[in-house]
Structure 1
Amino acid sequence: MADSLRAFFGEIEAPDRSLVVLNRSSPDPVRNLLDSLLEGQPVSIRDEEVPDGDDDVVALVEDGEVLAQSTLDDLLESVLLINSDLYKTGAIDLGEVELPDVLRGLDEVPFRLRGYPQSNKEKLLLIVISRVIERIANETGGGTLRSSFQRLSRLRDERGTYEVYESVARSGVDVHVYGVDDADPAGELPVTVHTGSSYPYRRSWFVVFTPPGRRDDGNGRPSGTGDHAALVALKDEPNVWDGFWTFRPELVARIDRYIAEHV
């Protein structure tokens, strides 16, 4: 059993995956947006021309095998042309949040991401993944969602975040929120509040969903039916996050169990 949230970084598969932009016809500024999203990450990006292929397709590749494909337009609309304020204000409806297949396929790749002003795009990736997990929970309408906010006042101050958690909680999901006690969201939202001042409350960013059913039989084997999903990110330096996301049921179940018992 892991003895900290950090210990789960040692359990991810960390696959060697890369992105290949096939038959690029889009201008350099579009390509630069993709570069800025993954700058400094263990995911290389290259252009390649292939005969009889469609233009502006991004392929996720591992050991020469194409695992997933998305169009550049999909990436532009879902991530590259989006800014975090649109999520905070609620301008993007939860049902509209999409995760292109090539980004979903970067699960269990360790990322080190910077927030604004060091980077305009890197941290956005974690925001999108968080919203995708929240959408999965909302559409499932059951199970358990555990989310940390560092400061619980964010649920009050960010309209979009408040609306998401109101929707998820009222859909039948058992929602648990974690953070420093600078607000009481339980007064307005049907959620269970966990407060503290230790490292996990102040410096962790997790969004963990386990679908309905027994979450973990004690040996890391989940029995819930439906999608499992988890994001875990830790801030050891100002405005810098180490993070990963996973859809592996047994790993999600163990992360959920650790948080339930130790945070």
Structure 2
Amino acid sequence: MTGSLRGFFDEIDAPSRSLVVVNRTEPQPVRNLLDALLEDQSVAISERDLPETDTDVVLLIEDEEVIARSALDELLESVLLINSDLYKTGAVDLDEIALPDVLAGLDEVPFRLRGYPHSNKEKLLLIVVSRVIERIAAETGGGTLRASFQRLSRLEDERGTRDVYEAVGDAGVDVHVYGVGDADPGATLPVTVHQGRSYPYRRSWFVVFTPPPAADAGRHAALVALEDEPNVWDGFWTFRPELVARIERHIATAL
């Protein structure tokens, strides 16, 4: 059994996957946005023109096989043209949030992502994945969601985040939130609060959902990220039920 959240990084598959933009008609700045999202990551991005194939399609490739595909418009609408402030303010409704198949298909690929001012886009990927997991929890209407915030006051300061956790708790999910105790969101939200000042409370970013036993096993989802440098995160997400369950058990017993 792993002794820390960092230990789970040694258990992910870390598959070699790449993206191919096919028959692009969108202008070069759109391609630049995609490059910026995955800058300096292990996921290579290339372009190809293929006859008798739709335009502006992005393919996810593993071992020379296409394992997922998304329209470039999907990436623009869900990630590339989105500002993280829209999630903080609640301008994007939870039921509108989606993760294109080619990004969902990057599960268990390790990322090292930077926030502002190093990058305006990279950290957004973790924000979108977090919201998608929260949406899965709300739609399931049961199970357990565990999420860390570094500072619990974020649940009061960020209206969008507060609204999401109110909705998830009201849906019947057992919600546990973790962070430094600079606020008590449990006084006004349907959540159980865990306060601490050790490394996992101050420097981890996790959103982990385990559905109730009767639910579809495909509803399992987890994101784990660790901040070893200021605003620089090592992270991954996974939908593997066994791994998600073990991450959840570790958080429940170690924090």
For Structure 1 versus Structure 2, the TM-score category normalised by the shorter chain is: over 0.9
Name the residue aligned to 1:218: none
Deviations 1:3-26 (A, max 9, x none): 000000000000000000011111
Q: Is 201-210 or 223-232 further displaced after alignment?
A: 223-232
TM-score by length of 1: 0.96
Q: Give structure 1 regions of 4+ aligned residues with deviation exceeding 2 angstroms.
A: 223-226
Change over 3 Å in CA distance of 1:116–1:204 after alignment to 2: same
1:236 aligns with 2:224: no
Residue 163 (structure 1) aligns with: 163
Alignment gaps of 5+ in structure 1? 215-222
Displacement of 1:190: 1.2
| 8 Å contact kept, 1:210–1:224 | no
- Root-mean-square deviation (CA, aligned residues, Å) is 1.1
Contact 2:218-2:239 at 8 Å conserved across structures:
no
In the superposition, the TM-score normalised over structure 2's length comes to 0.99
Distance 1:34 1:117, change over 3 A: same
Equivalences for 1:71-220 in 2 at 5 Å? 71-213=71-213
Give the structure 1 partner of residue 64 of structure 2.
64
Residue 224 and residue 24 in structure 1: after superposition, are their counterparts in 2 closer, same or farther (change >3 A)? closer
Deviation (angstroms), 1:192: 0.5
Q: CA offsets, 1:221-247, max 9 Å, x none? A: xx9745100000000001100000000
2:249 is paired with a residue of what secondary structure? helix
* Deviations 1:107-156 (CA, angstroms, capped at 9, x unpaired): 00000000011100000000000000000000000000000000000000
User: Which residue is 1:245 aligned to?
Assistant: 237
Number of equivalences: 255
Partners of 2:147 and 2:176 within 8 A in 1:
yes
- In structure 1, the partner of 2:252 is 260
Kept in 2: contact 1:212–1:226 (CA 8 A): no
What SS does the corresponding residue of 1:122 show, helix, strand or coil?
Answer: coil
Given residue 95 of structure 1, which amino acid in structure 2 is its aligned partner? D
CA contact (8 A) 2:217 2:241 kept: no
Listed as ranges, the gaps of 5+ residues in structure 2 are none
Q: Distance in 2 between matches of 1:34 and 1:212?
A: 36
Q: Distance in 1 between matches of 2:243 and 2:148?
A: 18
